[in-house]
Amino acid sequence: MKHYIYGVDIGGTNIKLGLFKEDTLELIESTEIKTPTERQEISIFEHIAQEMNSINQKHQLKFDDIMGIGLAVPCPVKNGFVQKCPNLNWKTMDIAKNMSLFLPPHITVKVSNDATLAALGENNSLERPFQNAILYTLGTGVGGGVIIDGQILEGGTGLGGEIGHMPIPYETDEICGCGSKGCLEQVCGTKAIFKRTKELAKTEHTTINLEHLSVKSIFDAAKDNDPVGLQVVHEVSKAIAYSASILAVVLDPEVFIIGGGISKAGQFLVDLIEQYYQPYARFQTGSVPFILAKTGNQAGIIGAAHYLKK
């Protein structure tokens, strides 16, 4: 009899589910449902179990065939426990225990941070996974995940991999979402990129349509040597490179993986990051490559499935 597992990525807006073969981790089906907004400490797990049941029936499976479920969640997690989750109405909760309430007792539940598990998913999707890898997720915010000796790094309280809140040399009076100032996210997040573009456009000529801003339009303009686009992209690349140089001498990674929506700028972005990285790099860390993420929106469910198997 074949056995199966689920990888689930819980977001503030949507929940992604993937059904995998347990032995090969082949993805059988992936789907997405809306994240319920009421009674989230119960309803989220109830909806996941209901969707699992629907997928099982579609593939003529029973819960007896399901060996486990890995959960990727948008908050700091330590040993499956969360103190506070800003993107969901969760406080001081044993996530694995709450999920188990809606599943048969034989099903194993494992939980970790979504960006951390995305790092595991991206790394394990490579033809030859690395033992030590760091993922940047560049989107509305900036997140990250760290793999050390093949294992995810949660840290002492679950904050391992919160790359977006590394302090960098950036002068600002604006307070970051974390309550501090000068965070990497305040330069490299989508909101920050739009804000900087509009600021520069007040004094410099630009071809960028400020009424319909997108990260793509800014990077496309930079590729066409637009002065505003170029300055914004260079500032973002320099900030990422600076932060990577610090991570490199602390964690000694074999690779940096660049993911998230901003990574769609492609090799253009990677080349600029590497250009700025070299002067900052110390010892042999200058040889650490930067590569683009490949799995897109499925990184979380893939990572959750791999985490369950470890």
- Tell me: the pLDDT tens digits for 82-113? 988 877 989 899 999 999 999 999 999 999 99
Plot region of 16 (φ>0 → left; ψ -120 to 50 → alpha; else → beta): beta
- Output the six-digit token pair for 167: 């302090």
Do β-strands 133-138 and 90-94 pair in parallel, antiparallel, or remain unpaired?
unpaired
Per-residue pLDDT of the chain (310 residues; tens, 9 = 90+): 679 999 999 998 899 999 999 999 999 999 999 999 999 999 999 999 999 999 999 999 999 999 999 999 998 999 999 988 877 989 899 999 999 999 999 999 999 999 999 999 999 999 999 999 999 999 888 999 999 999 999 999 989 999 999 999 888 888 988 889 999 999 999 999 999 999 999 999 999 999 999 999 999 999 999 999 999 999 999 999 999 999 999 999 999 999 988 888 899 999 999 999 999 999 999 999 999 999 988 999 999 999 998 7
CA distances 278 to 137, 144, 174, 184, 289, Å, are 21, 21, 30, 19, 11
User: Which helix (H) or strand (E) element contains residue 296?
Assistant: none
What was the pLDDT predicted at 87?
78
Domains of the chain with bracketed CATH? 4-121+298-309 (3.30.420.40), 128-293 (3.30.420.40)
How far is it, in rounded angstroms, from Cα 188 to Cα 22? Answer: 37
What was the pLDDT predicted at 1?
67
What was the pLDDT predicted at 179?
86
What was the pLDDT predicted at 284?
94
Beta bridge mates, 32: 16
How far is it, in rounded angstroms, from Cα 75 to Cα 86? Answer: 7
Question: Is 52 in contact with 104 (CB distance < 8 Å)?
Answer: no
What was the pLDDT predicted at 292?
96
DSSP letters, 212-229, are G--HHHHHHHHHTT-HHH
What was the pLDDT predicted at 296?
85
